[in-house]
Amino acid sequence: MFGLQNPTKFLKFAKLTGPWFAVASVLLIGAGLWFGLFSSPADYQQGETVRIMYVHVPSAWMGMFAYSVMAVASAIALVWKHPVADHIAKGSAPLGAGFTLVCLVTGALWGKPMWGTWWVWDARLTSMLILFFLYLGYMALSGAFDNAERGAKAAAILAVVGWVNVPIIKFSVDWWNTLHQPASVTKAGMPSVDPSMLLPLLLMGVGFTTFYATLLLWRVRSEILQTRIRNIRLAQIHGEG
């Protein structure tokens, strides 16, 4: 894939594209916030609280997206022993866990005035909570071995197995008719959200994606450098032979 499996080339690529992603995410999230907070109407039922959606929904998307990136990168690392894919999977996990946590917290903040409770055991909420625990398990497992390579491999298998949860989250609102409202943006045909609200939501969605890409490139860069430092230290300890 474009020679990016070579860590040196990847470093170059990350150095080149990273700033662009950063600028794009600042612009997109800025525009999304402006449209979301000032230029879009309040909802006729939910009032001003609807605005939390512009953070809540993109974080939910990113929570699932980051897990999918992690699972695909892990599968690539397992099958082709692609050295950068391991770093991508490992770098994606804390970001995804962060997005999932933001999604859960903003959902609770919104649920208190709207549903009258911080938390309900609804299918969507529960499966999102499981996703958060899967992230924690992944990070704990990859850090639990003295040999970093073994940790990466074990965690990669877990990431692939745990991916079964992502479609469950996606379709939970269609399969179980519980409290969480059904999907309204990704409907077949026309999305059922008014354009004035859809615009900031999509801006935030793309903005969060570029923000994630910026941080991911950053983390992968530091992972590659850390691996190099460790290899240099090992070479020093064991002598140059």
Partner 1 sequence: MTRYWELLKRELRLALRQGSDSMMVVGFFVLAVILFPFGIGPEPSVLARVAPGLVWVNALLAAMLSLDRLYQGDYEDGSLELLILTPAPLEILVGAKVTAHWLTTGLPLMAAAPLLAIFLNLSAYDLGVLLLTLAVGTPTLSLIGSVGAALVLGARRGGVLISLLVLPLFIPVLIFAVGAVDAAQHAFPWTGQLAILGAILLGAVPLGLYASAAALRQAAE
Q: What residues make contact with partner 1 under the rule CB under 8 A?
A: 78, 126, 130, 133-134, 136-137, 140-141, 144-146, 150-151, 153-154, 157-158, 160-162, 164-165, 168
Write down the least CB distance from residue 155 to partner 1, Å. 8
- Using alpha carbons, select from 72, 64, 87, 219 the residue that is nearest to residue 135: 64
Alpha-carbon span 107 to 60, nearest angstrom: 10
* CB closer to partner 1 out of 59 and 127: 127
In the chain, the DSSP E strands lie at none
Write down the least CB distance from residue 226 to partner 1, Å. 20
* CB closer to partner 1 out of 42 and 157: 157
* CB closer to partner 1 out of 27 and 157: 157
* CB closer to partner 1 out of 128 and 201: 128
**Bridge partners, residue 47, by sequence:** 43
Alpha-carbon span 142 to 54, nearest angstrom: 33
Other beta carbons within 10 angstroms of residue 104's beta carbon come to 20
Q: Tell me if 28 sits within 8 A of 206, measured CB to CB.
A: yes
- Using alpha carbons, select from 100, 101, 93, 106 the residue that is nearest to residue 215: 93
Write down the least CB distance from residue 98 to partner 1, Å. 18
Write down the least CB distance from residue 19 to partner 1, Å. 37
Tell me the three state secondary structure of residue 47. Answer: strand
